[in-house]
Amino acid sequence: MPREIITIAAGQCGNQQSSNFWERLCLEHGIATDGTIDPEKECYDRKDVFFYQSDDARYIPRSIMLDLESKVIQRTVASEFGALYNPENMFIPESGGAGAANNWGEGYTQGEKYIDQVLDMLDRETENSDSLEAFMLFHSLAGGTGSGFGSLVMENIREHFPKKILQTVSVLPSSGESGSEVVVQPYNSVLTLKRLIQQADSVLLFDNKALKRIKANTLAGTRRSLNTEIDIRETNIFVSQALLAATAPIRFPGYVYNNWSSILTEMIPVPDYHMLVPTYTPFIVPDAEKSLRFVRKTTVSEVLHRLVQAKHSMLAVTANQLQDSSFISVLRFIRGDVDINDFKKQIFGAQRDGLRFSNSFTESSQIILAKQSPFVETKSKLSGVGLWNSTVIGDCMKDVLNEFNLLFNKAAFINSYKRLPMFADNDLAEFNESRELLQYVIDSYNDLKLK
């Protein structure tokens, strides 16, 4: 029996990322823009993980969209795949809304007015499922809606659906670069990280610094000119590629990992360390793929090796940071055209691949052959996704916390938060608790490092 997953998108980044993911899910399952499938092209897959069927047998995404302004959801509705989504699962304030002004507190406070409507959507979607396994929240940490409203949604899922897995797809802003995307992004990120630490069962952590770097590297190999002003939306394809590959075993079933919790059990030996870093190779921009100057030769051993290198990580990690870190667990899925016996031979010895594991846990390094969608063709024979549970996450959090402290210690830009009732009378306990918790988590990761 499939174990179903409901996606929830909050804010601009969350909705743009999630609609990109859904379009690609449709392509992988041979679902047309009107939700129908060509009976000639039926294959053995589990569409039911992410879709259910309407009375007229069309496939409908188990997807909920939330925003405090209308622009992004309206664009999704007007897109090629727009008619696919259930309009009852889209929330925008009646007035159209003006967003959350890049303020976590604004997103959280406005969200409180609407949370009952969101819970109704979650209940209805849950009833459409036979055996719901997980909620998957897409959001960014830097703005106000995905972070603040997203935080409130996480707290409510934990309270109302305590037995379901809460998985997030969380996008951190570019840190450490001049000209932050949002000046108060460290505040919003740290306040949201507190919920990701306390409420989520698993967090897939991406950041825009890594995504922009991947985009630049990918286009450098093509004839398409590289815009200096990379629209961040164009990087959503990379996150989708990693998510499609990571969920491939549960959508195109094989011998192992038939549900999402079996993957998490492998990756997360104790709940305290539930943040995961995705890696992927080779990244592809479909329209630019046609103009690739050369197509790289992909072999199993090369793909496996790339999946444990810093430059293929989707969270900005330096090679030095990776070298000083220790893994708790690593999982690599290979997809593509490969002979199973050859695969077995090639993975022999690749499990360790020179990786350093923390000695606080039993070493866990798995390599699995996952099935490819029969409907999607690319020039690469093979692709792979990696998931790392690693102490390097503590290093990335340290960067976020340092940026937070730089602002908070000077009380910079804090007034826009203090005018909200939740932080009135100079009550900044939430800020202090969040930073203390983050510091505690950073220290815990540090303790796991091999000295």
Q: Compute the distance between CA of residue 182 and CA of residue 102 in angstroms, rounded to an integer.
A: 7
Nearer to ligand GTP, 129 or 174 (CB): 174
Smallest distance from the beta carbon of 338 to ligand GTP, in angstroms?
Answer: 31
Closest approach of ligand GTP to the CB of residue 137, in Å: 12
Q: Judged by CB, which is closer to ligand GTP: 21, or 135?
A: 21
Cα(171)–Cα(208) distance, integer angstroms? 7
Report the residue number, 171 or 276, with the smaller CB distance to ligand GTP: 171
Q: Which amino acid is at 87?
A: P
What is the rounded distance in angstroms from the CA atom of residue 89 to the CA atom of residue 84? 11
SS3 (DSSP) at 30: coil
DSSP designation for 295: P
- In terms of CB distance, is 65 or 438 closer to ligand GTP? 65
Alpha helices in 184-230 (DSSP H): 185-198, 208-220
* Site for ligand GTP, rule CB under 6 A: 11-13, 16-17, 68, 99-102, 140, 142-146, 171, 173, 181-182, 208, 211, 232-233, 235-236
Beta pairing partners, 9:
65, 138
> Would you say 52 and 130 are in contact if contact means Cβ atoms under 8 Å apart?
no
For ligand GTP, give the closer residue by CB, 90 or 308: 90
Of the two residues 109 and 326, which places its CB atom closer to ligand GTP in the complex?
Answer: 109
């430059």: which residue's tokens? 311
User: Please, what is the minimum distance in Å from the beta carbon of residue 297 to ligand GTP?
Assistant: 30
Q: Output the CA–CA distances (angstroms, integers) from residue 220 to 106, 228, 240, 295, 357, in the order listed.
A: 40, 12, 20, 13, 34
User: Which position's Cβ is nearest ligand GTP?
Assistant: 143
Q: Which of 64, 76, 66 is nearest to 114 (CA)?
A: 66
Q: Tell the smallest beta-carbon distance from residue 388 to ligand GTP (Å).
A: 19
Query: How many CB atoms within 10 Å of residue 231?
Result: 9
- The distance of closest approach from Cβ of residue 132 to ligand GTP in the complex, given in angstroms and rounded to an integer, is 25
| Smallest distance from ligand GTP to CB 218, Å | 14
